[in-house]
Structure 1
Amino acid sequence: MGFPGTWMTESESVVYRVVPKCACSTIGQIMYYSDHGEFFEGDIHDAQGGMHKWALEASQGPITRNVKAHKSYSFTCVRNPYTRILSSFFDKICGIQRNGKRYRGNLVPTLIYKYGIEVGGEDGKQEFDQIASFRRFLLFARDTIRWRRPMDPDIHWSAMSGHISTFICNGGRYDKIFWTESFNDGMQEVLDNIETPHKVRLDKIPRFNESEGHGPKRLHPVEDYFDDLSKHLVYEIYKRDFDLFKYDFENPGNKMPIDEIDLDEVHAKLGE
């Protein structure tokens, strides 16, 4: 299985397990900058060099050796499950992607046909009932995760604990898991624990939100999208995420965590 979704600086200063929709573009650019003193031109997910990525065959040996020996500081970043699934809906389902097309080809037409969702027309810019469509999308997301139909779950809405566990199950150990919601504090702690060829000043780093502007703007507060049924579906999908990363299931309007992450608990429960 190896270490899918794992990135490492060429200098091997730090190892990062990517979790989609959790500031991964910004984190990747910080890692790139820390080695090269400049940002990658374009979306860091498209970079085919300048950083080790598990998806690049030549990187798999160096990543495996490093992670199994725990030679470098290893970390990942998580996000409130309510805001993460909402972001996935507006970006991946309603939005037009970088290539000018809909995400995953026939995915959106399938959703419109089978689940009755709306996405704001051909260009994603027309008005539609965001709340009703999102709740129908939630049913679809649950179906993909619970029964793998009408398709396998997508990385952007599959549980964070699933992404994070592969690193542990194959012999890795995290030194830090921090929250997107207090990004600067968490990322600074990572930087304080590593030596990089180029110094990173977080206050000078822009946010690389590659999904911003893809889809329609969210018109309502987060909590308006989640009625009792929606909350039940979210808990069914993301129970481990709420429990391990200490988010508030009861109140979708509270995006902040309610307790500290216990790394030993995460390793024990996700390493089973």
Structure 2
Amino acid sequence: MSFPGTWMTTSESMVYRVVPKCACSTIGQIMYYSDHGQFFDGDIHDAKSGIHKWAMEKSQPLIRQNVTAHKSFAFTCVRNPYTRILSSFFDKICGIQRNGKRYRGNLVPLLVQKYGIKVGSPEDGFEFDQIKSFRRFLLFARDTIRWRRPMDPDIHWSAMSGHISTYIVNGGRYDRIFWTEDFNTGMQTVLDQVETATPVDLGAIPRFNESEGHGPKRAHPVEDYFDDLSMHLIYEIYKKDFQIFKYDFENPANKMPTGEIDLDEVHAKLGQ
């Protein structure tokens, strides 16, 4: 049994299934802080100690034992599919990464060549037609997810339900799933259920947005990026995300959920 993308505090106070582009940097730093009374110095994704991660071999037996026995409070966090894929585009496709290079090396040149996407550069102030390029990126994202061409789908734009289901299918159960759009309320419900070595005051916790400042700023309201065809593609890719996590497909301008997440429904529909 494997639990990819699963993080756990060293004290085993809580277990978190990472969903990329859903406040994972902030959540990881809160987990780290709750054990050590300080934040990890750097991007929490780079931490090799002070927090258990499935990607680290030595952590796997501990995570497996904890999750299969449901010893700790387990949670994850989701985000509106419209804003999530926009964030992926501006961060991973348009932005310069922490190492000073483009994401995944030859990915952006591939998109320029095959899909006619323009992303600008720091030298020109990232000047390009954001709406036109984003809609072409959507075609690429759909192609990777539906047909795994011209590459396998990337974790940053593959469906949240796919990430979240691996935890259930392999024997885990969530105690809480909350929305990034109401982050403090949701994270507080997690902290209220666990005992931490260091008290966490969410009001005083900074937001750790590791992608900020590495690329262009979004120049238009969310809804301007999605015409009728774009919405069709989004529904084709993220239908389950909208339905299970209660987001409004009909109105890209409404980032807020329209109802409560039903954990029994999540486990039933994603556990098959």
Q: TM-score, normalised by structure 1?
A: 0.99
1:246 CA drift (Å): 0.2
Q: Which residue of 2 aligns with 1:259?
A: 259
1:126 CA drift (Å): 3.0
Q: Which residue of 2 aligns with 1:8?
A: 8
Tell me the amino acid that sits aligned with residue 33 of structure 2: Y
Deviations, residues 199-240 of structure 1 (Å, cap 9, x unaligned): 000011000000111110000000000000000000000000
Q: Which residue of 2 aligns with 1:133?
A: 133
Q: For residues 123 and 102 of structure 1, do their structure 2 counterparts lie closer, same or farther at Cα, with a shift above 3 Å needed? A: farther
1:127 CA drift (Å): 1.1
Where do 5+ consecutive residues of structure 2 fail to align?
Answer: none
Where do 5+ consecutive residues of structure 1 fail to align?
Answer: none
8 A contact 1:223–1:253 mirrored in 2:
yes
Q: Distance in 2 between matches of 1:87 and 1:128?
A: 17
Percent identity between the aligned chains?
A: 81
1:141-160 aligned at under 5 Å gives the runs 141-160=141-160
8 A contact 1:94–1:124 mirrored in 2:
no
Q: Which residue of 1 aligns with 2:42?
A: 42
Q: Distance in 2 between matches of 1:95 and 1:124?
A: 13
Tell me the amino acid that sits aligned with residue 95 of structure 1: G
Tell me the amino acid that sits aligned with residue 66 of structure 1: N
8 A contact 1:235–1:249 mirrored in 2:
yes
User: What is the DSSP-based 3-state SS (H/G/I as helix, E as strand, rest coil) of the residue aligned with 1:74?
Assistant: strand
Q: Which residue of 2 aligns with 1:18?
A: 18
1:124 CA drift (Å): 7.0
8 A contact 2:33–2:198 mirrored in 1:
yes
User: What is the DSSP-based 3-state SS (H/G/I as helix, E as strand, rest coil) of the residue aligned with 1:231?
Assistant: helix
1:125 CA drift (Å): 2.5
Q: Distance in 2 between matches of 1:141 and 1:215?
A: 19
User: What is the DSSP-based 3-state SS (H/G/I as helix, E as strand, rest coil) of the residue aligned with 2:219?
Assistant: coil
8 A contact 2:126–2:215 mirrored in 1:
no
Runs of 4+ in 1 over 2 A off after TM superposition: 121-126
Q: Which residue of 2 aligns with 1:186?
A: 186
Q: Distance in 2 between matches of 1:138 and 1:213?
A: 23
Q: Which residue of 2 aligns with 1:108?
A: 108
User: What is the DSSP-based 3-state SS (H/G/I as helix, E as strand, rest coil) of the residue aligned with 2:199?
Assistant: coil
Q: Distance in 2 between matches of 1:202 and 1:142?
A: 37
Deviations, residues 222-270 of structure 1 (Å, cap 9, x unaligned): 0000000000000000000000000000000000000000000000000
Tell me the amino acid that sits aligned with residue 180 of structure 1: T
Q: Which residue of 2 aligns with 1:62?
A: 62
Q: Which residue of 2 aligns with 1:246?
A: 246
Task: Please tell me whether residue 90 in structure 1 is matched to residue 90 in structure 2.
Answer: yes
Q: Distance in 2 between matches of 1:171 and 1:124?
A: 50
Q: For residues 111 and 123 of structure 1, do their structure 2 counterparts lie closer, same or farther at Cα, with a shift above 3 Å needed? A: farther
1:3 CA drift (Å): 0.1
User: What is the DSSP-based 3-state SS (H/G/I as helix, E as strand, rest coil) of the residue aligned with 1:59?
Assistant: helix
Q: Which residue of 2 aligns with 1:51?
A: 51
Tell me the amino acid that sits aligned with residue 169 of structure 1: V
Deviations, residues 3-51 of structure 1 (Å, cap 9, x unaligned): 0000000000000000000000000000000000000000000000000
Deviations, residues 168-200 of structure 1 (Å, cap 9, x unaligned): 000000000000000000000000000001100
8 A contact 1:95–1:124 mirrored in 2:
no
Q: For residues 97 and 123 of structure 1, do their structure 2 counterparts lie closer, same or farther at Cα, with a shift above 3 Å needed? A: farther
Q: Distance in 1 between matches of 2:66 and 2:125?
A: 46
Tell me the amino acid that sits aligned with residue 81 of structure 2: P
Tell me the amino acid that sits aligned with residue 108 of structure 2: V
8 A contact 2:94–2:215 mirrored in 1:
yes
8 A contact 2:20–2:155 mirrored in 1:
yes
Q: Distance in 2 between matches of 1:132 and 1:124?
A: 18
User: What is the DSSP-based 3-state SS (H/G/I as helix, E as strand, rest coil) of the residue aligned with 1:242?
Assistant: helix
Tell me the amino acid that sits aligned with residue 221 of structure 1: P
Range that drifts further, 255-264 or 120-129: 120-129
